[in-house]
Structure 1
């Protein structure tokens, strides 16, 4: 299996940054996924639903255009573990007052100290989880 060219990751990162900047400039909103999702359930603002729709359709569209490949679903852990992980991520976003996109992309871009601490915590937790998973389990 051949890896995707490096420029696809660069282009994706640039599109994420551009999208976050445009949302902030034109709507005055931070592109934090957890906040957009939570308020979309209580709001009829079309941009929130279009943003979420774009998130859901971006991967399949990239796959259809040949820019991405489907993941190996057989390599995923059992569904109860996936659901538990999703629940823990949801609880973490509420406790941290935002998600990785809100803090890591938008907060760091605005030089927020709270977002720097949150992003360092996300990264340290991810590194520790990977270490435990690969070397201790």
Structure 2
């Protein structure tokens, strides 16, 4: 956390909250990315707004990273994948597949992801979301402790 900036964190958090509020007020939907992505296929009448939301999410991050590279850690070119822990002898493709499957499985059994529970669920004072976020953070702390990856 060498480049922590309270101002950029506050602005980013406010924009995420504003986007979630706009989606909720305008479409009656919660801005949970796993739910939005997970219900994109098969194509239904709700697929268009989901696709637009996801494209805008990615495009917004890309544009911001290029317009304001000082906000990121090391700039646009510094983004790299986190390798498996030293000594575990896990090939990178296996590491990425395992991580993706665990995230997908976790969001399915948790009935949502960090954006749905952490941003929208906590704002709605949902007890289920409070428990989910506590578990997310607990597992994250445990993972960092076990793997040593920061």
Superposition CA RMSD, Å:
1.9
The TM-score normalised by the length of structure 1 is 0.88
Q: Indicate the residue corresponding to 2:11 in structure 1.
A: 11
Q: Which has the higher helix share?
A: 1
Deviation at 1:4, TM superposition (A): 5.9
Change (3 A) 1:32 1:6: same
Q: How does 1:100-111 map to 2 (within 5 A)?
A: 100-111=114-125
Looking at structure 2, the residues matched to 32 and 125 of structure 1 have their Cα atoms a distance apart, in angstroms, of: 20
Identify unmatched segments of 5+ residues in structure 1: none
Q: Indicate the residue corresponding to 1:65 in structure 2.
A: 67
Change (3 A) 1:58 1:79: farther
1:101-132: CA deviation from partner (whole Å, max 9, x where unpaired):
11111000000000000000000000111111
2:131 to 113, 117, 121: 117
For 1:40, what is the secondary structure of its paired residue? coil
Deviation at 1:6, TM superposition (A): 2.9
Looking at structure 2, the residues matched to 24 and 79 of structure 1 have their Cα atoms a distance apart, in angstroms, of: 37
- State the aligned residue count: 133
